[in-house]
Amino acid sequence: MKVNYFKKMTLAAAALSLGMGISAQSVSSFSLYASQNPGSPGLIPGTHRTRAAVGDFNNDGYIDLYYGGQDPSEEAGTGWNCLSNLIKNNGNGTFTRINMEESGLPINSKSNFLFLDYNNDGNLDLLLTGDAEYGLDVPRYTYLYKNLGPAGGYKFEQVLESGLLSSGTPTEDYGKAFSAGDYDKDGFIDILITGEKPDLGWDQCRYVELYHNNGNGTFTKQDGPAKASSGACAFGDLNNDGWLDIFQVGYPSDSGEEGQSKWLHIFRNNTDGTFTDVTNSAIHSYGTFDSESILSDINGDGLLDIVAIGYSTSYNRIAAILINEGDFNFRYVDGITLGLATAGRTTVVAADLNNDGIMDLAYAGRDDHDNDKHKTWIFYQGASGSFALEPSISLPYFETTSGGLNLGDFNGDNAIDIVLTAYNETPDLYGCRAEIYVNTLGDEVAANTPPTTPTNLQASITDGQLNVTWNAATDDHTAAAALAYNVYVQSADGTFMLIPADIASGRLKTITDISVATRRLDYSMPLTDGDYTIGVQAIDQSAAAGRFATVSTGPGTAINTPNVKNVVVITGDGGFYVQANTATKVTVSDLYGRTIAIGLTNGLLPVGVHGVYLITVDGKTYKAVK
């Protein structure tokens, strides 16, 4: 049975079923905004063997960049050397490169990144993975870097004992190595990582690993995904039950004919911290490797579909769209019949590029029909579900290799822009490149306005469960069924968000993992009674986000904080045990104010190091010695 939480479908949304035929589409224009060329409007360093991360790392409202890679630049010295480029968007069409010493981020190559907020402090942290290259002898590494925020000048600091995989990386510089989302609804962002570990055998080197965020700056590896590499992984609610499932593609470790056909896996969230493989055998072979597949609501019905473009079994190249029909059932549609092109070694992104409310596709990779040249394509989707490649668009078709593309709104006009990193083999564009192209719309492309604020926001906490509901927002281009929603829960201890966003303006700080947004009109999670502010915003197909609707809980509102009594702090070998008459949140901090453990009364709060600690319960702080 198909699960659909939207009571009404507009005619526009209903028309988005995938079909045959090309319909006329308006086409956006893209103008060079920044590049490595001295004469470009904005100047940023060229590179290759890296894919840029896009996000507002310093909370100034402008989307910034981070990438590593290689370039024989003056700073690198003679020959090829690895780089570290944190690029600050100045908001006026210019950019400032922050060097490695000031950013705290290391040189890297064959690298992949993800901006996320793992510690709920409102600052974008960075996951980084790469491999040994010129001037860098560390083989296959994965690092987590904490953003020190305004007090630390937004410098990054490596988290040395995070519990995350310390070695391993994608075998090349394409695909999507990370995904971040709160799969168990404990209010902390968890992490998926895929790649290969060095010096291990065939059945051991490939991995997709799930890490649970313990809420104290550390992560614990969980059981779950299948072994694979050279592909991609993502969190997303694939059956619209309100819980994040796992999607993965890549080269499988399974030996034998049966195992080697399983290139794609879907794992259902069992809502108890475990996952079950529910992949329909009919779609196993549509996974990709040495390429990227993504989750996106392609047909705008409120269910996440799968876009698979790249190498599949026996190095066949595919362009496939798997339409989500509910309850983990997917229908295969041949992308070629829809107007898409097959390609290999792809990076793939999806967004409404021409502000018609319908999802479009862009990807870079090897052209299957032009002597394996590396190219970049943009395909616009029409109302019938078919795609058209417009050959006269102003974004040049680079013969890109050793890089990829990503999306972000770099000039703040609510239209999606594109950033490319590549080594270009075209004679007049030869060399290492990093270029931003802003979407300047076009003669027939309308401007985009963010969605309206959701109405009738309601929140209640009953028996330790937060339940939030709201009415659907509206948008000038995106149908109501195609809108996604971002949710935050804010307390004195920090702010948990599905997707990092600026609370005041509503602007998303990063859109890499936009698939973790909910497509329902409700959200729930375990939560003790207390003082909270809950916010909900709508996101359209162009990744433009509207203002947050907010509601508060606690004293003076519809939800009252219970009177916590009889608090007793007990010290034990494993940490602290806080007794009380009711279940409520407990925070353990050191004397520097750093959070050491978070938990509930009448349960163990693990603390392993001897010292003096501050234990906060119901707004009161107790000093304890371990």
pLDDT of 50 over the 80 cut: yes
pLDDT of 188 over the 80 cut: yes
| Most confident of the ranges 34-38, 192-196, 307-311, 531-535 | 531-535
423-430 contact pairs (CB < 8 A, 24+): 423/48, 423/49, 424/398, 424/399, 424/400, 425/373, 425/374, 425/399, 425/401, 426/398, 426/399, 429/396, 429/398
Non-local CB neighbours of 392 within 8 Å, separated by 6+ positions:
27
- What class is the 29-441 domain? mainly beta
pLDDT of 534 over the 90 cut: yes
Give CATH for domain 455-553: 2.60.40.10
Q: Indicate the pairing of strand 219-222 with strand 264-269.
A: unpaired
Q: Which of these, 496, 490, 589, 502, lies nearest to 531 by C-alpha position?
A: 490
Average pLDDT value for residue range 10-26: 40
User: What is the four-CA torsion angle of 115, 117, 123, 125, rounded to 10 degrees?
Assistant: -50
pLDDT of 138 over the 80 cut: no
pLDDT of 150 over the 50 cut: yes
Confidence of residue 205 (pLDDT cuts 50, 70, 90): low
Q: What is the reported pLDDT for 9?
A: 29
pLDDT of 132 over the 80 cut: no
pLDDT of 275 over the 70 cut: yes
Instruction: Locate the domains of the chain by residue range.
Output: 29-441, 455-553, 568-625
Task: Give me the percent of the chain exceeding a pLDDT of 70.
Answer: 80
CA–CA distances in Å: residue 242 to residues 5, 48, 278, 464, 487: 11, 39, 17, 17, 12
pLDDT of 570 over the 60 cut: yes
279-293 pLDDT, tens digit each: 887 777 776 666 788
**More confident site: 427 or 33:** 33
Q: What is the reported pLDDT for 347?
A: 85
Q: What is the reported pLDDT for 365?
A: 79
Instruction: Pull the structure tokens for residue 320.
Output: 């496939």
Q: Which helix (H) or strand (E) holds 604?
A: strand 604-606
65-87 pLDDT, tens digit each: 999 887 765 444 445 778 899 99
Q: What is the reported pLDDT for 395?
A: 56
Contact 23, 384 (CB under 8 A): yes
| Most confident of the ranges 14-28, 239-253, 608-622 | 239-253
Q: What is the reported pLDDT for 549?
A: 96
Q: How far apart are CA 385 and CA 349, in angstroms?
A: 17
Phi, psi of 255 (to 5 degrees): -90, 160
Confidence of residue 370 (pLDDT cuts 50, 70, 90): low
Phi, psi of 79 (to 5 degrees): 80, -170
Contact 69, 53 (CB under 8 A): no
Average pLDDT value for residue range 293-315: 89
Q: Which of these, 516, 526, 519, lies nearest to 244 by C-alpha position?
A: 516
Q: Indicate the pairing of strand 400-408 with strand 387-389.
A: unpaired
Confidence of residue 24 (pLDDT cuts 50, 70, 90): low
> What value, to the nearest 5°, has the Cα angle with vertex 446 and ends 443 and 451?
165
Confidence of residue 558 (pLDDT cuts 50, 70, 90): very low
Q: Which of these, 474, 463, 456, 1, lies nearest to 241 by C-alpha position?
A: 1
Q: What is the reported pLDDT for 65?
A: 96
Q: Which of these, 189, 178, 91, lies nearest to 143 by C-alpha position?
A: 178
Instruction: Pull the structure tokens for residue 24.
Output: 């006329």
232-273 pLDDT, tens digit each: 789 999 999 999 999 988 766 654 444 445 678 899 999 988
